[in-house]
Amino acid sequence: MPMRGLKICRYWLLAMALAPMAGVVFGAPPAPADQIARGRYLARIANCVACHTAEGGAPMAGGLALQTGVGTVYSTNITPDADTGLGRYSLDDFDRAVRHGQARGGKRLYPAMPYTSYAKMTRDDVAALYAWMRSDVKPVRQANRETTLRWPYSQRWLLVPWNWLNLPGEPVRADAKQGQAWQRGAYIVQAVAHCGACHTPRGMLYGEKGIDERSRHFLSGATVEGWSATNLTGDTLTGLGAWSKADLAEYLHTGRNAHATSFGPMSTVIATSTQFMSATDLDAVATYLKSIAGARGETQPFRYDASAQQQLDQGRFDTPGARQYATFCMPCHQSTGKGFARVFPPLAGNPTVVDPNPASLVNLLLDGAVTARVDTAPTDYHMPGYGWTLEDQELANLLTFIRGSWGNRAAPVTQEAVAERRRAMGVRTPETP
């Protein structure tokens, strides 16, 4: 699952930023230990901590700014503080917000919260999350910040018809032809982990174009906060068609495999969420994802072409971008473009490299990245950014070289695309002192 992108519980948290929940009813009897443990595990899969914790802030106290195309929202305080957090929410209140998009008091939650995914969660799992929050999360008194969405997106009444169009009326679909692992994987992907919130494209009204594997749009790739959330369907070049179930499980558990190494928002997802999934659930997710047909009709496998390697080995830099590659990239990714497996990922045949949307690659070259920090690896690896030393055209040439070498057949990257991302990310140019 190469990539944010970003992050698994993010959209639930975005919505809570707009509708502060007053949460837990004090004085209720303690929940059973096994229910709390189950809720703790589900919270890991949902990656609540990643979005509900601002940089340098108290865990789960909210305040993380999240930029959207229509304004800024802030994750909310979900600690069991009585005044600013979840201190007065009953289980019914909590369930209504999580699965129906309606906060305590009747306020509608914005669809930035993936309640269209959480609607497929079982009541028992929602109750387990609630029990964990009551038991394990330390109360923190911290007021929630107000959102700033432009009109008409600031009009909550519009969410009533939006829900009519987008809120599913059924749980995760059972498929009699599939086994128990497939069904469990479908539940994790569609509901708890809400992978579609990032990896499924959205329509004009910001609803996901597909909610399960029956739609050709489901998990076919999307753009989220300036990153390209990659295609998770079975396409052989830009999707997961060349990955085995073991490859997928390894990537989600460690952030690396023979095909790719995590970076950007996906590193956060792996570090704070998927690395903690059980082996059984990792296999279930891989089983489900590998069952999804390709969305782009790619059937021919990647075929390596050694001509770029020969050019680099001979010291010929007549192709635009080749000299920059030899200077900045070749020491790690080699003249072969094959890198070093599980450390420096291959560029040849990498789905992220040949993604039709080069946004993630542009971000990576401009500002660098770090692999997921996981318990299974002794260290993480940092890739430096080169926006400070390479001009927009140089970066465009370098990315075009990478996307067109070793058998890659992706479209060129333009100077304008690099300049746009540089401005959005605030990366200084080489001329800036």
- Per the listing, tokens 């996901």 go with 208
Distance CA 357, CA 167 (A): 29
| 9 known member of a binding site | no
Helices 91-100 and 123-136 cross at an angle (nearest 10°) of: 120
Which 3-state string (H, E, C) describes the chain? CCCCCCCCCHHHHHHHHHCCCCECCCCCCCCCHHHHHHHHHHHHHHCHHHHHECCCCCCCCECCEEEECCEEEECCCCCCCCCCCCECCCHHHHHHHHHHCECCCCCECCCCCCHHHHCCCCHHHHHHHHHHHHHHCCCCCCCCCCCEECCCCCCHHHHHHHHHHHCCCCCCCCCCCCCHHHHHHHHHHHHHCCCHHHHCCECCCCCECCCCCCCCCCCCCEEECCEEECCCCCCCCCCCCCCCHHHHHHHHHHCECCCCECCCHHHHHHHHCHHHCCHHHHHHHHHHHHCCCCCCCCCCCCCCCCHHHHHHHCCCCCCCCHHHHHHHHHHHHCCCCCCECCCECCCCCCCCCCCCCCHHHHHHHHHCEECCCCCCCCCCCEECCCCCCCCHHHHHHHHHHHHCCCCCCCCCCCHHHHHHHHHHHCCCCCCCC
Residue 138 identity (one-letter amino acid): K
> Which pair of structure tokens corresponds to residue 433?
């002192």
Q: Is 217 annotated as a binding residue?
A: no
Query: Up-side HSE of residue 226: CA atoms within 13 Å toward CB?
Result: 19
Residue whose structure tokens are 């082996």: 279
259: annotated binding-site residue? no
Q: Which of 112, 108, 126, 136 is nearest to 30 (CA)?
A: 136
Tell me how far apart the alpha carbons of residues 226 and 224 are, in angstroms, rounded to a whole number. 5
Please choose, from the candidates 48, 93, 52, 100, the residue with its C-alpha nearest in 3D space to the C-alpha of residue 76: 52
d(CA 294, CA 238): 9
Binding-site residues from annotation for heme c: 48, 51-52, 195, 198-199, 329, 332-333
Binding-site residues from annotation: 48, 51-52, 195, 198-199, 329, 332-333
